[in-house]
Structure 1
Amino acid sequence: MSFGVFELTPEGADTIAPDQMLEILDETGYAGIDLGPAGYLGEGEALISRLRAHDFGLAGGWVQLPMSDDDAFEAALPELDAAITVFADAAAALGGPAAFRPKPTLADSGSEARQARPGLAVDPLDAAGWDRLAANAARAAERVRAAGLEPTFHHHAGTFVESPDEVERFLDRVDVGLTFDTGHLLLGGGDPAAVVERWAPRINHLHLKDVDRAELARVIDAGGGMVEVWSSGAFAAFGDGDIDLATIMDAMDRAGYAGWIVVEQDVLPEAGIDLATFAARRLADHRTNREALRPWA
């Protein structure tokens, strides 16, 4: 998402081409990439060839499902199955250790009210809603496992698993690994450094981003939603924000974590910026980000 290409990329928007994105990540020392929107990196053999050209693995990818609504969840299952097929085919073609096979990154869809007011836990689920969410999350995870892949669940701002209490409630009810996202946990009212030790045994995927707390607070206090957060620059390169990266990574080292570290900044291009300038900024950011992780990876 550092490159502004994800599920909320506006229709018809100019975006960095996939090969340029892969070249930037290759140049800055990365070993893989998330899938991104379906088809962006190609499909079938085109996807595999593109990854092999850079000796890249596929870390996983976002699969958002309306888990608290049984009818909507049922209608979304073909989308889940299509995504699982992409990941399973990539895992078979690319091989490698089990810990580095792609992890379908499951997430709840939340609600319009939550997406409009992220981090405030508005529009909470009642007990019946939690029952539906937990049951459907378990069903989604089982479909992933049936394809020979390891599922992971992403707590995410604007969804019904957003605050630390909601993450705890989810972990108590659903047997699935956790995607630990530093930025979204902070936006949801948590302190990543304070909970990472406790949740480490359940964490099977890492999404790391730094956060400028002052800028994030400015956006939320002004009534901004998720699009405004992504457009604000609140998610910064490592060292430009307030996340305690060392405490988080040291805790994961002690827990014996072995798996992907997905570096995200959740950046949308500023209005009027040309793609060449935007790409140059992402190149600089990723040099910074990759070097920040050298002590651990």
Structure 2
Amino acid sequence: MPPVLDRIRVGSAPDSWGVWFPDDPQQVPWQRFLDEVAEAGYSWIELGPYGYLPTDPARLTDEVARRGLKVSAGTVFCGLHRGPAEWDGTWEQVRRVAALARATGARHLVVIPSFWRDDRTARILEPSELTREQWAHLTKGMERLGHEVGETYGLDVVVHPHADTHIDTEEHVERFLDSTDSELVNLCLDTGHYAYCGGDSVKLIETYGERIGYLHLKQVDPEILAEVTANGVPFGPAVARGVMCEPPGGVPELEPVLAAAQRLGVELFAIVEQDMYPCEPDRPLPIAARTRRFLRSCGA
């Protein structure tokens, strides 16, 4: 019998349906996403890019509830490492997403650092390494964001290490955690992105368990990863090549990750995100259903 992972709350996200943008003809309509994520057996969803799902709180709450779903988090991107001048633009984005997340009953805001190279064209936008001053801007800015979001909207900010951003590798993730206050900001550990950048999710959970506030579950195909790494392929084209693959066919193994998360003794969301942009509209549902069955076989 698999272990009972009774502290892990499994969900999925628009990302697993090939949704990266508020509006894109290559993406499935939002009604189809909601119908299919419920059909696949999930109870929780994230909002995805702001504007993809309805932004009227009453309508969204109704659409989600009548499918038996609940919202776990909203998501924003930000470039706070650039300094105080970024704050107003960041807060305007955060304000809209956090208000909608709170109105639908969510408790988290997932914050992703901005990309240092374009995820479609590979054009270098900024150096891949931050200066000491930029690290200070990043960490203090995230702490301020955590404080303001908590005070204003009652949400917990969890920062998402992500490929092609400045918080990606084990070194960068640990530096971020060591430089920030756990009362203000914690981590959304994405198992796929962390493996993509060479990190060990189980080790991170066991070392920084008190800082793990949220999980994204995904795997990478090690052969495709080796190819894109060797050739300097940016994240977007790497996804189009299938670098993020259906569990349990990639790395890291999710059973040990989930077991380590369970041992923390706290309730954690574990949201499935299989990056698949772009993808054929009929592809996501069978994968999502198989992934849900796999996670149940792990005890989640």
Q: TM-score, normalised by structure 1?
A: 0.87
Q: 1:296 aligns with which of 290, 294, 299?
A: 299
Q: How far apart, in 2, do the equivalents of 1:168 and 1:116 lie? A: 29
Q: 2:198 aligns with which of 178, 183, 189?
A: 189
Please report how far the alpha carbon of residue 188 of structure 1 lies from its aligned counterpart in structure 2 after TM superposition.
1.6
Asked whether the 8 Å contact 1:181–1:206 carries over to 2, the reply is yes
Q: 2:254 aligns with which of 239, 245, 249?
A: 245
Q: How far apart, in 2, do the equivalents of 1:133 and 1:115 lie? A: 24
Match of 1:98 in 2: none
Does 1:149 pair with 2:155?
yes
Flag the 1:130–1:116 CA change in 2: closer, same or farther, 3 A: farther
Q: Secondary structure at the match of 2:156?
A: coil
Please report how far the alpha carbon of residue 246 of structure 1 lies from its aligned counterpart in structure 2 after TM superposition.
1.1
Match of 1:219 in 2: 228
Deviations 1:265-285 (A, max 9, x none): 110125xxxxxxx33321111
Does 1:139 pair with 2:144?
yes
Counting matched residue pairs gives 277
Asked whether the 8 Å contact 2:117–2:234 carries over to 1, the reply is no
The 5-angstrom pairing of residues 248-263 of structure 1 reads 248-263=257-272
Please report how far the alpha carbon of residue 12 of structure 1 lies from its aligned counterpart in structure 2 after TM superposition.
4.2
Q: How far apart, in 1, do the equivalents of 2:268 and 2:75 lie? A: 17
Could you tell me which amino acid in structure 2 is paired with residue 2 of structure 1? S
Q: Secondary structure at the match of 2:251?
A: coil
Please report how far the alpha carbon of residue 233 of structure 1 lies from its aligned counterpart in structure 2 after TM superposition.
1.0
Deviates more, 1:162-171 or 1:279-288: 279-288
Could you tell me which amino acid in structure 2 is paired with residue 165 of structure 1? E
Match of 1:109 in 2: 114
Could you tell me which amino acid in structure 1 is paired with residue 193 of structure 2? H
Q: How far apart, in 1, do the equivalents of 2:173 and 2:154 lie? A: 26
The 5-angstrom pairing of residues 64-103 of structure 1 reads 64-70=77-83, 71-91=85-105, 101-103=106-108
Asked whether the 8 Å contact 1:2–1:282 carries over to 2, the reply is yes
Asked whether the 8 Å contact 1:193–1:244 carries over to 2, the reply is no
Asked whether the 8 Å contact 1:114–1:159 carries over to 2, the reply is no
Q: Secondary structure at the match of 1:68?
A: helix
Superposition CA RMSD, Å: 2.1
Deviations 1:151-202 (A, max 9, x none): 2111111111111111111111112121010111111221223322112221
Could you tell me which amino acid in structure 2 is paired with residue 41 of structure 1? L
Q: 1:165 aligns with which of 155, 171, 179?
A: 171
Q: Secondary structure at the match of 2:208?
A: helix
Please report how far the alpha carbon of residue 131 of structure 1 lies from its aligned counterpart in structure 2 after TM superposition.
0.7
Q: How far apart, in 1, do the equivalents of 2:255 and 2:82 lie? A: 39
Q: How far apart, in 2, do the equivalents of 1:206 and 1:55 lie? A: 22
Match of 2:133 in 1: 128
Match of 1:63 in 2: 76
Q: How far apart, in 2, do the equivalents of 1:251 and 1:117 lie? A: 35
Which fold has the larger relative contact order, with Cα–Cα distance below 8 Å and residues 6 or more apart in sequence?
Answer: 2
Please report how far the alpha carbon of residue 14 of structure 1 lies from its aligned counterpart in structure 2 after TM superposition.
3.0
Q: How far apart, in 2, do the equivalents of 1:279 and 1:31 lie? A: 21
Please report how far the alpha carbon of residue 88 of structure 1 lies from its aligned counterpart in structure 2 after TM superposition.
1.6
Match of 2:18 in 1: 4
Does 1:19 pair with 2:55?
no
Q: Which runs of 5 or more residues in structure 1 are unaligned?
A: 92-100, 271-277
Flag the 1:181–1:115 CA change in 2: closer, same or farther, 3 A: farther
Please report how far the alpha carbon of residue 242 of structure 1 lies from its aligned counterpart in structure 2 after TM superposition.
2.5
Q: TM-score, normalised by structure 2?
A: 0.86
Does 1:32 pair with 2:37?
no
Asked whether the 8 Å contact 1:178–1:202 carries over to 2, the reply is yes
- Structure 1 runs (4+) deviating above 6 angstroms are 113-118
Asked whether the 8 Å contact 2:119–2:235 carries over to 1, the reply is no
Q: Which runs of 5 or more residues in structure 2 are unaligned?
A: 1-14
Identity %: 27
Does 1:209 pair with 2:218?
yes
Deviations 1:126-154 (A, max 9, x none): 11111101111011111210121222111
Could you tell me which amino acid in structure 1 is paired with residue 294 of structure 2? A
Q: How far apart, in 1, do the equivalents of 2:294 and 2:130 lie? A: 38
Match of 1:94 in 2: none
Q: How far apart, in 2, do the equivalents of 1:116 and 1:205 lie? A: 30
